Amino acid sequence: MAPGGGILIPTRLPLLLTHEGVLLPGSTVRFTVGSARNMQLVSQRLLKGTSLKSTIIGVLPNSRDPEHDSDDLPALHGIGTAGIAVQVVGSNWPKPHYTLLISGLCRFRVSSLLKERPFVLAEVEQLDKLEQYTTPATEGVSADDGELRELSKKFYQASLQLLGMLDVSIPVVAKFRRLLDSLPRETLPDVVASMIHTSNKEKLQVLDAVSLEERFKKALPMLTRQIDGLKLLQKTRKTSPDNEKRVLSVRKGGAFPGRQFNLDEEDEDEDGDDTTVLERKVRAANMPEAALKVCLKELKRLKKLPQSMPEYALTRNYLDLMVELPWSKSTKDCLDIRAARTLLDNDHYAMDKLKRRVLEYLAVRQLKTSLKGPILCFVGPPGVGKTSVGRSIARTLGREFHRIALGGVCDQSDIRGHRRTYVGSMPGRIINGLKTVGVNNPVFLLDEVDKLGKSLQGDPAAALLEVLDPEQNHSFTDHYLNVAFDLSQVLFIATANTTATIPPALLDRMEVLQVPGYTQEEKVEIAHRHLIPNQLEQHGLTPQQLLIPQDTTQDIISRHTREAGVRSLERKIGAVCRAVAVKVAEGHPSIKTDTLIPAGPVEPEDKVIPPEMPIVIDHIALKDILGPPLFEMEVSERFTLPGVALGLAWTPLGGEIMFVEASRMEGEGQLTLTGQLGDVMKESAHLAISWLRANAKTYQLTNMVGAPDPLEGTDIHLHFPAGAVTKDGPSAGITIVACLASLFSGRLVRSDVAMTGEITLRGLVLPVGGIKDKVLAAYRAGVKCVILPKRNEKDLEELPANIRANLDFVTAGNLDEVLNAAFDGGFQRTAGPPAAPQLTSKL
């Protein structure tokens, strides 16, 4: 029997060592355990039994944090509380641990330790009666002890006084009232001390009070302090439910064993302030009905979750994101077309097609306010200003701007987000971007959309199909949100270097605007309007200190850079600015930091004469700064022997000139191709050989010994410098024909002619792409005449007027016209078969 009679607890108890929190008899406390000993106790004793309530364990305060568990056992508190685990929850986040909800039964004293591993097992002595905490009773303290009866009565009256000062509608206060009505008075010190706001040190004092009289004396000052504090609070301001909740301990638990108390409702009460504020934010977010319904459902679930569970943080993060999203927030567009035209012209030189498209959007936006955002795709070589013009469009419209870099993205979750069932899930870049800008109608720049990857995690290009479809993106569903979000007001601008690597389905959803490279004249204007002032500012110089004339700028463009954009040009101008900054800094008097007089003789310092301002950069100074020219006009020097022709190629970096070289030697009629050629280019070479052999008699083409078949007893080697660059495409067809015709006839191709075009086996010339970039490359190389397919004549209208004026264009429909234009004096041919008579319809 227990002291005073009653039910006995086991004399051997497994001990749960706790560092934070004190369990008193009659109270329920939630403990989080993660030490090795405590984890072993839970797994071997609590989880292996048939019922949690059938296993009684001892909860003993520990003087050392059990998370820093070691082999040696710390000094244990002498008195603990026996209890049963009402609930056990395991989790692996952020590290493996168990959360136990334990109800205290009675006190015990540790007599001796039986074992320390894998968990602590001790022989204990029961100190309290078990029934007084588990069975309701109405009788009070025995009348034998007058002082104890007086303490009990005083404590009970103080508890009633505290209850009278609180709002009974609050769940934890209602629970306090029920306990006062149902429990014996000798249990009140433990129960009240566990519910009011007290420190662990004070709870330990109550726990150590074995005699009932001492227990009342320890707990009564705590209760009196709470009443005095509440009285003072009522004097300063009217008591609110929030203040009353602060008076009672807002600890998890506080339930009474044997009673049916809803612990989840008490946890709701703990976080009532946060969830109430969050609910107000959810209702004020002005989100659609479907999203509001989901948020309220998640909010209701959040109120029932304890904060220690990982799902609580995940749900809270989800609701915070839903509140922060701009469901109905937008910026007002600036629709002044004149101001927009001025701003675009100030920010960017040339780019007339892009500017015209933006002004068209503004004009239509004035006439129709509910216009969906267009989906544009700027395609062009690097350095031509695709990204910066997107930023200027946002400034012109008065909208927020957000850039999303898609280069190398190979996971569709980057676009659509992760489902919330995964650990570490997060929304995609589209939703994150909207959260960042805070409005639902920004300008989104999808940079490098042609460099998307594909992996086992899905195809991000396929995920973009919904984002970039005006008929679907009004209900874009991110996997993390799992509710529709309207993207129809977002202005999407994608950038790419080429459309070849963009999937056709994605390309079909975008309005493609070509952004070709700049001419030399345009580069000079851009340099003096934007690049030079910007570099002067970045290097701390002024126009009064540095002057770069236009002829020097032209020299940098033509001899030190060869690109479609202006990035290399900007770097070269930066190098000039750094060199001038050194001269300017050397001319300034230095500040002496050492004022001591030297002991030895003082030699006169060399005085640096400040340079005359401004420092003008001429061709001599440019060579000293940038070194010898990197590019020379070498076109005419390559045409010294037959078998050389100049072609034009398109690359994602812009247009390039391409030499084709051929030689022949005695052999067996084999064709050798070098220069890292693709299959299409190899086929073009075989087509050219076949056409020239078929027309050898017409054009008087012979082999090395004068035979009519150019390949009889002859091997042909066709080479395309530079050999380290991969080449492919059909546009070198007419160049290969001209090169081989020069080899077989012994005549030189004109050194000022460049050409591009696809050929057929019948000698027709078919159209090719990238005409503007190719013509600009020819113009940069000093070419005077360009041969193009006849069906590409329409593309010449996109060229600047000065380019059309300085170049001669020959449009050819067949290879005969190509050969006549590529050789001085034309290409001789024998009289062909008589022309077929012209037939006239008699209908």
Q: Mind giving me the DSSP string for 345-360?
A: HHH-SS-HHHHHHHHH
Residue 352 neighbours by CB distance under 10 Å = 11
Residues 6+ apart with CB under 8 A from 636: 751, 752
Give the helix/strand (H/E) hosting 658: strand 654-666
Mean pLDDT of 687-713: 82
The SS3 call for residue 809 is strand
CA atoms in the 13 A half-sphere facing the CB of 288? 8
Helices 200-208 and 188-195 pack at an angle, to 10 degrees, of: 170
* Length of the chain measured in residues: 843
Catalytic residue at 293?
no
Mean pLDDT of 213-220: 92
Omega within 30 of 0 (cis) for the link into 470: no
Mean pLDDT of 448-467: 88
Q: Which of 175, 245, 727, 774 is the catalytic position?
A: 774
* pLDDT of 591 higher than 70: no
pTM for the complete prediction? Answer: 0.62
pLDDT classification of 219: cutoffs 50, 70, 90: very high
* pLDDT of 748 higher than 80: yes
pLDDT of residue 656: 84
CA separation for the pair 81, 15 (Å, rounded): 10
CA angle, residues 407, 410, 413, in degrees to nearest 5: 110
pLDDT of residue 257: 34
pLDDT of residue 9: 85
Residue 390 neighbours by CB distance under 10 Å = 24
pLDDT of residue 542: 92
DSSP 359-404: HHHHHHHHH-TTPPPPEEEEE--TTSSHHHHHHHHHHHHT--EEEE
pLDDT of residue 836: 47
CB 484 within 8 A of CB 288: yes
pLDDT digits (tens, 9 = 90+) for 375-429: 999 998 898 889 999 999 999 999 999 999 998 899 889 999 999 888 888 999 9
Whose CA is closest to 523, among 392, 384, 655?
384
Helices 171-182 and 188-195 pack at an angle, to 10 degrees, of: 170
pLDDT digits (tens, 9 = 90+) for 527-562: 999 999 999 999 999 999 999 999 999 999 988 988
CA separation for the pair 122, 120 (Å, rounded): 7
CA angle, residues 526, 784, 676, in degrees to nearest 5: 85
Q: What mean pLDDT, rounded, does the chain reach?
A: 83
Catalytic residue at 95?
no
pLDDT of residue 180: 85
CA separation for the pair 156, 141 (Å, rounded): 11
pLDDT classification of 525: cutoffs 50, 70, 90: very high
Give the helix/strand (H/E) hosting 621: helix 619-626
Range with the poorest average pLDDT among 100-104, 347-351, 654-658, 836-840:
836-840
pLDDT classification of 309: cutoffs 50, 70, 90: confident
pLDDT of residue 141: 54
pLDDT classification of 49: cutoffs 50, 70, 90: low
pLDDT classification of 304: cutoffs 50, 70, 90: confident
Residue 711 neighbours by CB distance under 10 Å = 20
pLDDT classification of 50: cutoffs 50, 70, 90: low
Conformational region of residue 721, where left means phi above 0, alpha means psi within -120 to 50, and beta covers everything else: beta
CB 241 within 8 A of CB 250: no
Q: Which of 629-643, 718-732, 776-790 has the highest mean pLDDT?
A: 776-790
Range with the poorest average pLDDT among 255-259, 289-293, 364-368:
255-259
CB 744 within 8 A of CB 532: no
pLDDT digits (tens, 9 = 90+) for 117-132: 889 999 999 988 765 5
pLDDT classification of 59: cutoffs 50, 70, 90: very high
pLDDT of residue 617: 92
Q: Which of 731, 742, 745, 751 is the catalytic position?
A: 731
pLDDT classification of 637: cutoffs 50, 70, 90: low
Give percent of the chain above pLDDT 70: 86
Residue 434 sits at φ, ψ, to 5 deg, of -65, -40
pLDDT of residue 260: 30
Omega within 30 of 0 (cis) for the link into 326: no
Give percent of the chain above pLDDT 90: 39
Owner of token pair 């940069």: 780
